[in-house]
Amino acid sequence: MLTNRQKRKISLELIFCGLIMIGVYTVFNLFVGLAIIHGSSMNPTLQDGSVIIMNKQTTNLEYGDIVIINENVYGKELIKRVIGKEGDIIDIDFETGIVTRNGTPLDEPYTNTPTNKGYDVKFPITVEKDCIFVMGDNRNDSVDSRSSQVGCIPLTCIEGVYLWTIRK
């Protein structure tokens, strides 16, 4: 038989555990989230099947950030790298594989090959208001803003920014 003191102690421990669970749930719903990489479009940076943690606070995107785009854009969640922001002029020379932003060639050590594959978007392109231009790191095996199926991504469609990989 438990004493009143033991019952109070157990009650307090249960309340404490419940508060911790609510806190973790809140953090994961408001501030961080998980995503799973599907496909090879982000190789060599991220591999198929990798589980990543994202920061859901996406108010200040930077060039080179890896973003998670909600499934409303392409019918499935996309994970791509920010190449251009509102007003930027993006051009691609598909023969040399060089991507330029506002006339300056990009230094892209994260890509595995030059950008030789194009889709149906005509270049140069100016990134639309409140949008970003994204590309996968595996440039010749990535459907991204070079395709009208994806196009420039509205900022409202960004779920989060990649923080780190928790499982490769």
Residues with catalytic annotation? 41, 80
Enumerate the β-bridge partners of residue 34: 53
> Are residues 65 and 52 in contact, defined by beta-carbon separation less than 8 angstroms?
no
Paired with 135 in beta bridges are: 81
Token digits of residue 119 = 């889709």
Query: Going edge to edge, which strands form the sheet with 78-85?
Result: 32-36, 51-55, 158-167, 66-69, 78-85, 131-135, 153-154
C-alpha distances out from residue 39 to 21, 80, 143, Å: 33, 12, 11
